[in-house]
Structure formats: C-alpha cells, structure tokens
C-alpha cells in the first residue's frame, strides 16, 4: 500500500500539503464518531473560538467547510457577491490566475490587474481605480496575501489604507491559503471582510477543511448576495450555529480532532513565535539562494515570502529535472514551477510544522541536486549561509529551557 | 483531547459516519505527501478503476471530490442540468427533503412526488408523469436509493423499467449515499446516469470524499448543462485525468490511502459477501424489532432497508430520550428521529464495517434502554430473534476456514 | 500484513492480552525517543508514583521491567530468596503450576499445596504449616491472587491474617497478573511484600512491562538474597533511581507513553469504579452461565473471579471446538481450557478496558456457538440474565451526565 | 501527554532507540490479539524464518525474547555456559564493560582483555590465549561486534580464523546489538555460535524484543549448560516451536507485527543495500568530523563503525553541553559520552531507518552547536565534506527509477 518506498523520512518541502506534527497524526488516529452526540458540538464550539485567534479577529464568523482552498474561494465569493458584480483582482501567479478564472466562471465582472510573475500586486493601479470609482461600482477587492507559485507576499495593510483613504466600501476578500498562521495576518486591524485558508497549509493538517472567516460586513452582504450557492452557503451554517449543533452536514470527525490538536500546538508555541519561526526559515532560505548565486523569483525584498521561495534556475537547466531528481534520489519533495514559470523555477516550501535542521537538510539536498544538473554550486555554501543566520536567531525551545 | 470518556469501545450505530476498519485507520495514520509526485497519480489511477467496481459500472467516469454527500448531490445536479430544468424528485424523508431543497435553491423546476414518511417513492405517480411527458420536459429523475431517515429502499430497477418502457430520455440521478457498497446497486444494468455516495458510509472511511460516477450520457449532458459550477465542475477533473496528474486541486492524501485500504478489504471480503452481510444485519435487526413488539417505520417489506432501521416507539415515549440514554449510560450511539419523525423513531444504523456480534451487543443495549424509558420489552427477546436468524445464516469467515 | 481478515471488530475475550483503549493506542503511535533526554525521566517519575496507586501502596518500590509476567515472577523470587529457601506455594491451576515449576527450577524448596482445579488455595493447610513452622523455615508464601486458568480468586486478606496471627515473618509474594487494577487489591493493608502484574492485563496495554512492586521488607530481603540475577536485579534499578535517570537499560518508549495514558484513563474513571465495573462484568457473566445451565469451573462463590470465567462444558462437547468456532465464524476470541481442564472448559475473559454491551455481544455469540456444538441452550437466555442484572447496576457514565 | 514540545520533527541521532519507519509505526497501531489464535503462530513462523536472513544463517535457531539487549546477553550466556566456565571477553567501552559485569555476576570466570577506549578488541592477545589453551579451558569468546560507546567495530572473521587455526572449540558469542542488520554480519560463514541484537537498533523498532540466534553447536551446549535460567531458557521456546504454538509466554503482538513490517522493508530495500547505506552514512559522518578538525574516538580506520561515531571534543569543552544544547535549541538528540569518555565525546548514531538528508540536517546542527560551545568550526564545512561524498555515492532510489 506504500509504493515507491525509500528508506528514512520523506523530506516534504512543497508549499502544501505540509508536514503534520506527530501529535496531530495521533489525534486523528481514531474511529468515526456520531457527530450529533454532545461531544462534537462541544469541541466545535472551542474550535470556532480558537480559529478566530489565528485570523486575529474577534468580530469575524468562522466557517469550517469540508472542502479545499478552491471551495473556500467559492464560498467567499458566492456568499458576498452577485453575478455581474465588479471585482478588482490581481494576477501575479498561478494561484491568483486560478482564482480569477473562478471569479470569471462565477460571472463576476473581473477587473484584472496583472503583474509580471515575481512581482506583487500593483497597488498603485488599485489606488487609481479606487480613486476614480466614485460610483462604487467596485464591489470587492480580491487579493492573495501570498502567491504560492512565485513566493510573493502582498501588503494588505496598504490595500486597506487605499480603501480607507477613499472611503470606498468595497469588500476586501483575501486568499490567505499560504499565509494565515504563518505570516503576519490581522483580519480586524486590516479590515479584511473575508479571509480564507486551507487545513493543509500553515495549520499542518491533511487537506479537507476550507476555513472561511467573514466580517460582520461580509455577513451582512451575504443576506443580499444573489450568487447561487447551496453547499457553500453560509446561511445553513449560521442556522446550525444557532441551534448549537453546528453542522448542516457531516463534518470530518478526524479533521476536527486534528484541528483541535493543531491549534493547541500553535498556542503552545505561541502564534507570534510561529510567525517568527517562519520568518527565520524564509530568511535563511533566501540567504542560501543568494549564496548559491541564484535568483529569487520574487523581484523585491518587500514581497519576499516567508512560506515559500521560488528559485530561478539558469536558462540551461530545466527546473522540473531538479524536482524529479530530488524525489528519485534524495527522498526530497520540492515544488514544481507552474504555468509561466514552469521549467524556470523550483519551489522550496518552508511552511507549517517545520524546524531549522529540517530546512538545512533540504538545502544540503538542493545543493547536491544543483550540481547533479550541472549548476556549479559550492556544496555547503547555502547551508553555511543559512546556519550562520540561524545560529544568531534561533531561540532556546521554551519548554526545554 | 477526548472529552466525555467512557470505558470500552464506543458502540457506533448511527447510519453514518460508520465504523472504520482498523486496517483503514492504520492506512491513514501518516504524514502528508506531495500529491504532484508520481506516487499519488499512480494510486489514484487504481482508485478510479476500483471505485467503478463497487458501482458496478464499466462505462462510468468516477470523480472523487473533496466534499460531503451534500456536495456530491450538487455536483451531480449542476453538471447535468440547466436552471429551469424540470426534475421529478421523491420526498420520502429528511434526506430526500434536503436534496429537493437543494434542487429548488439551484433553480430547477422540481416536480415533487411526496410519500408518507415510511413509504417508498411513488413509482406509479412517476409512471403516469413519464407516460404523459411526451414532450420530454422532464430532464431528470432524482431519487434516493435508500432514505436514511426512515430506512426505506426504493426500487431502482423499476424506475429504469418505467423510463425504458416509455423510451423517456430523462437522466436517472441516484443518491446512493446510504446504499452503494452495502445494498445491491447496479449502475450499468439499471441505466443510472449519475450515482453518488460519501466516504463515511458503506465505504467505512472518514467523511471527506463525495464520490460521483457519471454515465457517458451524463458526461455528454455536462457539456451543455448551463448550471453554474466551478468547484464541482467535472470539466476540471476530466482535464487533469487526461494529463495523468488527476487532481485539479489538492486531494486528501489520507483519504486516498484510506480508500485504497477500504477497497482492498471490500474486495477481500467480496462485494457480494458485503451485500449479503448487510442483508443479514438488516434482517436480524428487523426480527429483533418485531420481537420487541415495535413497529418498523418502513411500512412495507419491499422497502425494507438493509443499512438502517428506523424503529417507531409508542407515543408515550420520546425517542430522543432513548438516544440520549444510549450515549449516557451504555456508550452506544444511535440515530435520532429527524424532522417529521423526530421523537417518534430512533434509528439503528447497520452499515459499513460491522459484524454480527457487534449488532447483538447493540440490540441488547437497546432492550435495556427500552425498559429504562418504560417500554415493557422482554430482555433478550430481540437478541434471541436476531441470533436465531444469524445462527442459520452466518457463514464461516472465508479466510479462517 | 493482516492475515485472516474478517469484517468488523474482533471481539477479544481472552483473559489477556486484552483490549487496549483507543486513547492508549493513540498515545503509543509514535517514533522512538532518546530515553536519556530529560523527557523520559520526567515521565518515568510520574509513572512510578502513579503505579503505586493502583497497587494501593505508599511504601512500596515499583519496578517497570521490560519483560512479561513470567519475568516478573522471576524478578520477585530471585531478588528476595536464596537457593534452597522453603516456599509454600498453591497449585490450583495452570498459572500457579507454571509458577511453581519456575520456583523449582530456581532451586527453591517448594512446599506445594495442591487443590482440585476450580478450588481456591487451601488456606487451612497454610495455617497448619505456619502454625507448625515455629522455626520459621518457610521464607515465602507464593500465591496467585487470581488463577487465570480456572477463574479462582484467593483471599489474600486471610493469608495475611494467618501470618499475623502466628507472627510468622515469611514474605508474602503475590501474582496479581490477572487481578491488580481489576480486583480489589490492597498491597499495604494486606502486607503484601512483592506484588506483580503485567502490562497486557488489567492495565490494557500491549505485552512488555512486568510490573513488580516491593515492600520495604522485600527491598531489605533483596540485599541478602543469594539467588543469581542480573537482568532482573532490583539493585540496578535502585541505582538509576538515585541518579534520577531511572533506566539501567533501554525501556520501551512506547509502553511508557502507553502506561501514562492507561493510568490517566484509570484515574479518570476512578480505580474504585474500575473495580466495580469488573465486578459487574463478572457477575453478569456468571448469571449468563447459570442461565445456560452450565457450570462455572470455580466451585464456590467465595472464589468467583471478576476477571475471567471458566465455563465447564458437558462431557460430550470438546471445549476447544467452541473456541475454534468462535474465531472462525464470529470473529470472537475466547480462552482455551489449559492442561487438566483442556477440552473441558472454555474461558471468557472480562478484564481490562471493556464495557457491558461488548460483553453482551460476546455472550450472544457464545449462545450461538453452544447451539452449534450441540448444547441445547436457549438463545438470548444468558443475555437476558446478564442484562437484567446490568440494567439495575450500570451507572450513568460520569463524564456524560 | 507530550512534554517539552518543540516544533517540527525531532532529529533522533542517538545510537538507539532509532527512528522507526512510518510503515512500521502504522503496522503497530492496533489493538491486542489472542496470541493463541492461528494468526499469531502463522506470522511467527515467517518471522523466525526471515530473522535468520538478517543474521545470514540457515542453520541457526532464533529466539524472539520479550526483553532488551541486556536480557538477550543473559540468554546467550546462561543457555550455553555453566558457572565457573572461563570466557574471554574484551573490554573496549561501556557496553562491553556492562556485558563483562554481567558475565562476572553470572559467576563465569571472565578473562578480561582490555583495550584503551577507542581501540578494538586485542585479537593478538586472544590469539596467544587460544594458542596456549591446549586444555580448552576457554569455553567461550564473548565479543561485541560494534562497541556503541566508542564506535568501534571488531573483526569477527579474524576471531573465527584464530579459533579455527588452533582448532579451538570455544563458543563464539557475539553482541551484535548495534551491528546486525546494519553492518556486514555473517553468522554461518564466521562460525558465530550465539548472536544477539535488540529490536530498537538496526531493525528500527521500539525496544522490547531481544533477538538471540543459536548455532546447532550452541543448541547442543544448551542441553548441558548448568547456569540457572527460567525466563531466558531456550528449552521452553524449543518445546513450543515443536508444538507449533511458538510462545511459552505472551509475546507483544505489536512488536510481532512491527517486526514483520520492518523485515519487509529491509528485504524491499535489500539487505546489502541497507548495509551499503550504513556505510555511506558512516563514511560521510567521518568526513564531516575530519572537516571540523575533530578527532574520531575510534583510533584506527579498521575499527571505524558505520553505525555510530563518537566525536572527541577539545578538552576545554564539555561534550555533555553539546548534547544538552542540541536538545534544547535544535530538537536534535545526540548520544552522550559514557563512563571513561563522559564529557569527552558526543556520539552521532547513524543507524537504522535513516537517509542522507536527515544526516546532513544533523551535521548542520552539530556545526552550529560546536560554535555555540566555543569551538571554531566553519559552518557548512562538515556538510560540504559529507555531501561531496554522498553526491558520488548515493544511488537512485530503486523503486523510483
């Protein structure tokens, strides 16, 4: 039942699904349960409260939908918008592209603002659109916080500032799939109206829960939004929240117990420490890339992502070959370049329940593979750069002091 | 992390989510994996082939959608029908009710054929509608194979016969959530166009995969169906099937390994043996109910369900109290009566990976609870009736002969 | 990797190894760890403290030896006695027989007091030996608290009373393998000097820890005992206890985490409730046996065991055939008759993490098997007797009230 | 239940207990079973056959004893020797010291041949003893194949050659605890009479099985050996082997299933590939140590161990501090220096189910820690040396080609 066996642990460095903590694997190692017994609602109640903490919201309403990030997108859009509504959406990589495709297929009038892949969302263009939209035809700004295909993080505080300075009422809908619980994300402070993530990303669970959190304004919008939705309709959830049974249809018992354990670990480490750890891992990865003499796909420091690094390879190398060799020879899983950057970049995911020595093992592997495919990297150079940085920044493990 | 601890195993007799075999729990006890490595597509290929076997189809196309049964319904409908399309749908209990509600919210023109709860779909009414629909305004017949709320199994062969005798081209869309892989179901032979089930039912997995299988005719219909869908769109799957990467978005690695293990066990037992086992469990349960002097909610033998039995309690008893006491005193999980039969029936799910002695333990528990709530049942009477039947019908376990 | 597959849960009713709670299975589902890190000693410290509670001792010293019950016996004997020492030992069944064999092979001078199998230890004979042993040639009384082969529980309080009334200094060494943590056992109150159990019995863990608890008098005796021992020598443990590292050689990380979880569950249920539950299960089993018209191997009520019942079958039936059929047809594991009672009894273990409905399922199975092998039992009769008793005695599950 | 939480995977580099493959963890994730059912003997039969393969013996008899390596030593000795028997034993580190201590406590007449720690067994001294022992007073040569405390591998072929050249009949008893299944070991070819290992070493299981394999000559010796033994007596096993029930007392069901899975993985990888992988890991570690400018505790290349490397630190550093910091800051578990080399060496275990990138992560960690404690190592230097070697030697993973 396990094909392609290789000795030792698999080194999982794709930007999702990510490594699951052993404690969470244990928590999910169980039989099914009746989700209508008092036990599941009692646990659900704590989950809904605690999920809000990782979104940094006190006023939002969370929905734990049995779906993926793609479904979470759809839930965010169809509950708040009506067909024909104008959205401003930023095309900066494969995942924002797919989201835009979804928006178009859902019959929204998508005003696409495109950037070169490797650049962030063009917020100056947003500003001019907002400035000129005195009629408030723009109903929503749809933006990925972190574009997983290129490793670009957008500045959400700035988006909020633009909207506020023009007192524009557009909803701010954020794809936080590869950011929330890993990057600094502040739903309430930044006035985000809908934010989503997926269980298999920074929460370090299996795929299967699309987490959608809606601001009071988004909840209000959902009452009049005319987009067709049934499975993704918040209304059904809200009805069952009121009943105290919480689930309009069957949840995954396993993912609920897994989420409980995942949140417990995050709170034990401390959310700010989790974010700081991701910053360490991201910074160290970038230092390694620099030491290798390679380019980061992300063109400016302000957009650097702490959850995924897309590394540009020289034109004489096919980056897919790097990913293939990593899996075939080193039991290392790296991310492929997608679409426009296929063959041109490979991606190192440094996201989720991961520590520094794991990353250093990965970097050492990448160095060997780079040599394998003909790039003249100095072995140990990236590891040296990364560990020099780690050495000065890794704290003692609090529980072990 | 486990609230409400009680000693010993929980006796899980709700009609879903059901008991997961230990082998499947083990198979899912793992870290995440890169779903873009060669391993996951290789496994997916075998899953798609093998899933067809439990639907008894060679021509169907299966979709393993990261969703629940509710999402699977939506996928079945939106891929094959256009807004305004006329469907004939049978309201015979809570789950057919919910499906009809979904059909209406999806803007189909639903021709509802209602039965008293406890009765099957009125196929004579269907026949007259089909007979008179010479203009073929009816685009689909939507029918639950087994109504989980009342324990009623409909005669699908008969539905096909009606359609055929009038050469009516309506699609036959079947909710097999609590039937497929437990009851006799023959997709190709019965000309079913779309059939769905959920992982947490007879397949005995956690919740999280909505399995939808489409006939060639349904696939053809999907090319022109105008219902809006993105997440549930078959088109994206078909594109990735062709690419050989299989997944338009992230699947649950865990459920794929779980499904592989679940199918292996089903084939090891033999699908016909699985169905025969469910028939034994269902028959024995009905004999026990009879021995207790209680009524089966299902009014005629032809509708008897081999996956769930809804037991009618005397009017002076609140059936919810039975369910409550089962959980509080005996660590037994029974199904509540829903909606119209709330308080009037309790349900015994005998579905999924379950054996005879497990059921007898449950029946013994129900007897004590019935006494607890004031019904004058003779202890041991239901167990005696059920085991008298089992004694003559349980085969030796093939692997242990 | 799982031969002999059968659907549903295996019904495990041998008197060891017993059913492991899901929580404990989860706790053991992990990688190895360095047992010299601070984590394992910290956990070990709590284990040693808490293990004392289930032996009801405050003055005893526990040893968690990586071995089985047989090894625990050897540790108890070789640490306290010298070759040639006279022991009084009671032969009342297969396990006391094996222990006596061990004592003889270890060169003790064993004074065997034999009973018919099905009877308890002859304490009147003990009394006369003690009374006449004014020279104190008897160094130890070796007695099984509960003989697992026949389901006979001996009266330890009485043994202590005999020793005290003659002020006899013999050590009291007790095999509590199938009693401790299930039957009423009071190490300090009854002046037991060495008591042992195994992890796979009432503690409901896998096999692998032999638990030995020594009174101060036994520890004192160990300083002069001349029996050869190395692996089983308490001295090495005591040295490492003092160092605070606790382990003279590598423990099983898994069993330590498992033991932690097992103890937590026992304390959550409450040790007295655990003992009461075993009494309920034992009483109900005996009532069923009576209802079937069969004889309990245990000849008098005072010896009835609450952890295992050996059921005598009519002479025309081979009890092994019952055990064989249980496994082959009902996925039920019963205990064989051993040695003198081979073919004559089968055993129902009702020990460890087990609840009432599980037992009723087992009893229903036994009824069918009895009919299978030609014994004219009335189906449901044993279940009725047991559940009539349960109905009046099972408390609400405290956590679920 | 998990104290001292740290994010990410623990990096386990002690020379035992070692990393358990996920497949084995899964195989052990189960309830107990009746070990007297036909299933366990059937599995045991295959285990006994397959265990012989990793010892490279066709004539040996294996015993899977529920104990640790210490118990396995005792079993090897007491079954083959009588009190007063002369053994030649080599004191070259902590584990050989402990074994000698055991031999002395078991009343053998131990002729200790001591080496400086870091050197191998003095085989020239052995030769002279054998040469002069024409009376054959030496009954056994007891030698550790690999001394885990210093990382020294002894030349067993040479021992056999010495015995053969003098036609000396002494038994050759080998502690293969940290060698068998990782280093080249050939029981039959080298005429080893008793060889032992423990489940938590190269087999990559939890602690709990002491594996002892006896040559026909050793089995013959056991018939007359007068050392007292009961729990460890081979006789009881042999009796149950003949009966086909295999177990004189309760085995750990979990470890049996785990062993089955572990052996399957070893055979899938190929025993020679497993050994080659350990050679790669050992060589790379030594190259890193050299690059760091540190000394290997092992003084000559001929003794270099491929399963553990003891690294000598400069005298101004306390090696325990390195181990402490590894755990506190990097979630890395290293081995302490023991006894004579306490504070002077730390140990890197590279043993069991481990791959190259895992080791590189460890080495990168060690480099940071060395700087932490004031040793002027160049970051990346050891990793560079190790990966330069790996790059030229790691094969493609066979299953993934």
- Could you tell me the pLDDT band of residue A3, with boundaries at 50, 70 and 90? confident
Please name the residue of chain C whose CA is at the shortest distance from the CA of residue B391: C368
Q: What is the pLDDT of residue A399?
A: 86
Q: Do A400 and C22 touch (CB under 8 A)?
A: no
Strand runs labelled E in A145-241? 146-147, 152-153, 171-175, 194-198, 210-214
What is the spatial distance between Cα A206 and Cα D7, in angstroms, rounded to a whole number?
Answer: 17
What is the spatial distance between Cα C265 and Cα C399, in angstroms, rounded to a whole number?
Answer: 12
Please name the residue of chain A whose CA is at the shortest distance from the CA of residue C29: A26
What is the spatial distance between Cα D23 and Cα D28, in angstroms, rounded to a whole number?
Answer: 9
Cα C139 to Cα C59, C145, C221, C319: the distances in Å are 21, 19, 10, 40
CA dihedral sign, ordered A305, A306, A308, A314: positive
| Contact between A183 and A145 (Cβ < 8 Å) | yes
- Could you tell me the pLDDT band of residue B399, with boundaries at 50, 70 and 90? confident
Instruction: Report the neighbours of B using a cutoff of 3 or more CB pairs below 8 angstroms.
Output: A, C, D
B226 touches chain A (CB under 8 A): no
Q: Is D144 helix (H, G, I), strand (E, B) or coil?
A: strand
Please name the residue of chain C whose CA is at the shortest distance from the CA of residue D102: C230
Whether residue C2 is predicted with pLDDT greater than 80 in this model: the reply is: no
Q: Do D400 and B25 touch (CB under 8 A)?
A: no
**Exposure class string for B53-83: b at 16+ Cβ within 10 A, else e:** ebbbbeebbbbbbbbbbbbbbbbbbbbbbee
Any residues with CB less than 8 A from the CB of A5 and at least 6 apart, and which?
A: D23, D265, D268, D269, D399
D235 touches chain B (CB under 8 A): no
Which D residues, 1 through 30, put their C-beta within 8 Å of a C-beta on chain A?
A: 2-9, 11, 19, 21-23, 29
Whether residue D2 is predicted with pLDDT greater than 70 in this model: the reply is: no
What is the spatial distance between Cα A280 and Cα A354, in angstroms, rounded to a whole number?
Answer: 11
Angle at D268 between CA A354 and CA A23, to 5 degrees: 25
Residue D17: asked if its preceding bond is cis (omega within 30°), the reply is yes
Q: Do B32 and A252 touch (CB under 8 A)?
A: no
pLDDT in tens, B336-377: 999 999 999 999 999 999 999 999 999 999 999 999 999 999
Q: What is the pLDDT of residue D62?
A: 98
How is B167-227 classified by DSSP, letter by letter?
A: T---EEEEE-TTTBTTB---TTTTT-SEEEEETTTTT---S--EEEEE-HHHHHHHTT---
Which C residues, 148 through 207, put their C-beta within 8 Å of a C-beta on chain B?
A: none
> With contacts defined as CB-CB under 8 Å, which chain C residues touch A40?
none
> With contacts defined as CB-CB under 8 Å, which chain B residues touch C22?
9
Q: Do D27 and B26 touch (CB under 8 A)?
A: yes
What percent of chain D clears pLDDT 70, i.e. is strictly above it? 100
Q: What is the pLDDT of residue C323?
A: 98
Q: What is the pLDDT of residue B3?
A: 73
C135 touches chain B (CB under 8 A): no
Rounded mean pLDDT, A314-341: 98
Question: Residue A246 has which token pair?
Answer: 């919480």
Rounded mean pLDDT, C70-83: 98
Q: Is B70 helix (H, G, I), strand (E, B) or coil?
A: helix
What is the spatial distance between Cα A65 and Cα A47, in angstroms, rounded to a whole number?
Answer: 13
Please name the residue of chain B whose CA is at the shortest distance from the CA of residue D9: B31
CA-nearest of C385, C329, C335 to C360 is C385
Q: Do D397 and A328 touch (CB under 8 A)?
A: yes
- Could you tell me the pLDDT band of residue A398, with boundaries at 50, 70 and 90? confident
Question: Residue B44 has which token pair?
Answer: 């997916």
C265 touches chain A (CB under 8 A): no
Which C residues, 332 through 361, put their C-beta within 8 Å of a C-beta on chain D?
A: 333, 335-336
What are the backbone dihedrals phi and psi of residue A183, each rounded to the nearest 5 degrees, phi first?
Answer: -105, 165
Helices marked H in C119-270 = 123-132, 156-165, 216-222, 234-243, 253-269
Question: Residue A238 has which token pair?
Answer: 């809200």
- Could you tell me the pLDDT band of residue C348, with boundaries at 50, 70 and 90? very high
Q: Do C22 and A38 touch (CB under 8 A)?
A: no
Q: Which of B6, B265, B354 sits opposite C5 (nearest CB)?
A: B265
Question: Residue C357 has which token pair?
Answer: 């409905």
How many beta-carbon contacts under 8 Å exist across C and D?
184
Tell whether residue D325 is among the known ligand binding residues: no
What is the spatial distance between Cα A123 and Cα A119, in angstroms, rounded to a whole number?
Answer: 11
Which B residues, 270 through 299, put their C-beta within 8 Å of a C-beta on chain C?
A: 274, 277
Q: Is A111 helix (H, G, I), strand (E, B) or coil?
A: strand
* B280: closest CA of chain C, how far (Å): 13
Q: Is D291 helix (H, G, I), strand (E, B) or coil?
A: helix
What is the spatial distance between Cα B358 and Cα A322, in angstroms, rounded to a whole number?
Answer: 53
Helices marked H in C11-78 = 22-27, 39-54, 69-78
pLDDT in tens, C376-396: 999 999 999 999 999 999 999
- Could you tell me the pLDDT band of residue D80, with boundaries at 50, 70 and 90? very high
CA-nearest of D88, D155, D93 to D118 is D93
Residue C205's Cα: distance from chain center in Å? 13
Q: Do C364 and B353 touch (CB under 8 A)?
A: no
Pick among B4, B5, B7 to test the C interface (most C CBs inside 10 A): B7
What is the spatial distance between Cα A146 and Cα A165, in angstroms, rounded to a whole number?
Answer: 24
Any residues with CB less than 8 A from the CB of B56 and at least 6 apart, and which?
A: B185, B186, B187, B188, B189
What is the spatial distance between Cα B67 and Cα B60, in angstroms, rounded to a whole number?
Answer: 20
- Could you tell me the pLDDT band of residue A401, with boundaries at 50, 70 and 90? confident
Q: What is the pLDDT of residue C179?
A: 98
Q: Do B277 and C7 touch (CB under 8 A)?
A: yes
- Could you tell me the pLDDT band of residue B2, with boundaries at 50, 70 and 90? low
C41 touches chain D (CB under 8 A): no
Q: Do B232 and A232 touch (CB under 8 A)?
A: no
How many beta-carbon contacts under 8 Å exist across B and C?
182
Q: Determine if the pTM surpasses 0.90.
A: yes
pLDDT in tens, C132-174: 999 999 999 999 999 999 999 999 999 999 999 999 999 999 9
Angle at D187 between CA D304 and CA D95, to 5 degrees: 45
Rounded mean pLDDT, C53-70: 98
> With contacts defined as CB-CB under 8 Å, which chain B residues touch C332?
357
Whether residue C1 is predicted with pLDDT greater than 60 in this model: the reply is: no
> With contacts defined as CB-CB under 8 Å, which chain D residues touch B21?
none
Any residues with CB less than 8 A from the CB of C115 and at least 6 apart, and which?
A: C90, C91, C92, C121, C122
What is the spatial distance between Cα B1 and Cα B14, in angstroms, rounded to a whole number?
Answer: 22
Any residues with CB less than 8 A from the CB of A336 and at least 6 apart, and which?
A: A319, A320, A323, A342, A346, A347, B36
Q: Do D400 and B22 touch (CB under 8 A)?
A: no
DSSP A335: B
DSSP D202: T
What is the spatial distance between Cα C218 and Cα C60, in angstroms, rounded to a whole number?
Answer: 9
| Contact between C29 and A25 (Cβ < 8 Å) | yes
Q: Do B399 and C331 touch (CB under 8 A)?
A: no
Question: Residue C273 has which token pair?
Answer: 């409730």
Rounded mean pLDDT, B193-197: 98
> With contacts defined as CB-CB under 8 Å, which chain C residues touch B391?
368, 371-372, 379
CA dihedral sign, ordered D82, D84, D87, D90: positive
> With contacts defined as CB-CB under 8 Å, which chain D residues touch B38?
400
- Could you tell me the pLDDT band of residue A145, with boundaries at 50, 70 and 90? very high
| Contact between C214 and C65 (Cβ < 8 Å) | no
What percent of chain C clears pLDDT 70, i.e. is strictly above it? 100
Q: Do C29 and A31 touch (CB under 8 A)?
A: no
Q: Which of C3, C12, C32 sits opposite D19 (nearest CB)?
A: C32
Rounded mean pLDDT, C187-209: 98
Please name the residue of chain B whose CA is at the shortest distance from the CA of residue C262: B7
Q: Do B30 and D26 touch (CB under 8 A)?
A: yes
Helix, strand, coil content of chain A in percent (nearest 5): 40, 15, 40
Question: Residue A303 has which token pair?
Answer: 């957009």
Please name the residue of chain D whose CA is at the shortest distance from the CA of residue C22: D31
Whether residue B219 is predicted with pLDDT greater than 90 in this model: the reply is: yes
pLDDT in tens, D119-139: 999 999 999 999 999 999 999
Bridge partners for C180 per DSSP: C183
Bridge partners for B111 per DSSP: B88
Whether residue D1 is predicted with pLDDT greater than 60 in this model: the reply is: no
| Contact between D187 and D215 (Cβ < 8 Å) | yes
CA-nearest of A356, A391, A386 to D373 is A391
Q: Which of D8, D355, D380 sits opposite A331 (nearest CB)?
A: D355
Bridge partners for C398 per DSSP: none
| Contact between D351 and D182 (Cβ < 8 Å) | yes
pLDDT in tens, D316-358: 999 999 999 999 999 999 999 999 999 999 999 999 999 999 9
C-beta neighbour count of D215 within 10 angstroms = 22
CA-nearest of B180, A96, A7, B27 to D358 is A7
Q: What is the pLDDT of residue A173?
A: 98
| Contact between C307 and C147 (Cβ < 8 Å) | no
Which B residues, 358 through 377, put their C-beta within 8 Å of a C-beta on chain C?
A: 358-362, 364-365, 367-368, 371-372
| Contact between B326 and C322 (Cβ < 8 Å) | no
Whether residue A150 is predicted with pLDDT greater than 90 in this model: the reply is: yes
What is the spatial distance between Cα A345 and Cα A339, in angstroms, rounded to a whole number?
Answer: 10
Pick among C31, C64, C103 to test the D interface (most D CBs inside 10 A): C31
Q: Which of A29, A38, A400 sits opposite C26 (nearest CB)?
A: A29
Cα B204 to Cα B18, B261, B271, D31, D392: the distances in Å are 6, 10, 14, 18, 48
> With contacts defined as CB-CB under 8 Å, which chain C residues touch D336?
36
H or E segment at B394?
none
How is D373-385 classified by DSSP, letter by letter?
A: TT--PPTTHHHHH
CA-nearest of C361, C378, C399, C247 to C10 is C361
Q: What is the pLDDT of residue B398?
A: 85
Angle at C59 between CA C54 and CA C62, to 5 degrees: 55
C-beta neighbour count of D53 within 10 angstroms = 14
Question: Residue C231 has which token pair?
Answer: 């692996």
What is the spatial distance between Cα C313 and Cα C302, in angstroms, rounded to a whole number?
Answer: 22
Any residues with CB less than 8 A from the CB of B94 and at least 6 apart, and which?
A: B147, B148, B149, B338, B339, B340
H or E segment at B201?
none
Whether residue A191 is predicted with pLDDT greater than 80 in this model: the reply is: yes
Q: Which of B19, B388, B397 sits opposite C6 (nearest CB)?
A: B397
Q: Which of C22, C30, C38 sits opposite A22 (nearest CB)?
A: C30
| Contact between B365 and B353 (Cβ < 8 Å) | no
């Amino acid at each position: 039942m396990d094909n392609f066996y290789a000795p030792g642990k698999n080194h999982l460095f794709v930007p999702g699904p990510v490594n699951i903590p052993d404690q969470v694997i244990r928590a999910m190692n169980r039989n099914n349960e009746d989700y209508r017994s008092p036990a599941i609602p009692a646990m659900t109640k704590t989950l809904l409260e605690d999920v809000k903490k990782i979104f940094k919201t006190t006023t939002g309403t969370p929905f734990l939908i049995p779906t993926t990030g793609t479904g979470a997108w759809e839930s965010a859009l169809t509950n708040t918008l009506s067909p024909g509504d104008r959205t401003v959406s930023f095309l900066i990589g494969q995942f924002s592209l797919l989201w835009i495709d979804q928006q178009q297929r859902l019959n929204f009038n998508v005003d696409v603002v495109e950037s070169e892949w490797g650049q962030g969302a063009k917020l100056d263009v947003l500003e001019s659109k907002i400035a000129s939209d005195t009629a408030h035809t723009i109903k929503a700004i749809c933006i990925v916080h972190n574009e997983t295909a290129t490793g670009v993080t957008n500045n959400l505080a700035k988006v909020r500032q633009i909207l506020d300075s023009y007192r524009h009422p557009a909803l701010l809908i954020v794809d936080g799939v590869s950011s929330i619980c890993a990057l600094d994300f502040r739903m309430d402070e930044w006035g985000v109206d809908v934010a989503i993530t997926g269980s298999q990303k920074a929460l370090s669970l299996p795929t299967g829960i699309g987490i959608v959190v809606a601001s009071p304004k988004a909840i209000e919008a959902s009452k009049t939004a005319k987009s067709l939705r049934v499975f993704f309709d918040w209304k059904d959830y809200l009805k069952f929240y009121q009943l105290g049974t919480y689930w309009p249809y069957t949840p995954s018992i396993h993912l609920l117990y897994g989420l409980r354990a995942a949140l417990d670990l995050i709170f034990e480490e401390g959310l700010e420490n989790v974010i700081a750890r991701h910053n360490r891992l991201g910074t160290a990865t970038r230092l390694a890339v620099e030491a290798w003499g390679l380019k980061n796909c992300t063109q400016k420091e302000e957009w650097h992502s702490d959850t995924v690094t897309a590394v540009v390879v020289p034109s004489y190398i096919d980056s897919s070959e790097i990913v293939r060799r990593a899996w075939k020879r080193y039991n290392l899983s790296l991310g492929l370049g997608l679409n426009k950057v296929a063959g041109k970049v490979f991606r190192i995911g440094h996201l989720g329940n991961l520590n520094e020595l794991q990353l250093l093992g990965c970097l050492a592997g990448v160095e060997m593979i780079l040599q394998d495919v003909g790039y003249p990297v100095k072995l140990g150079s990236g590891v040296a750069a990364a560990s020099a940085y780690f050495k000065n920044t890794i704290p003692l493990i609090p529980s072990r002091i």
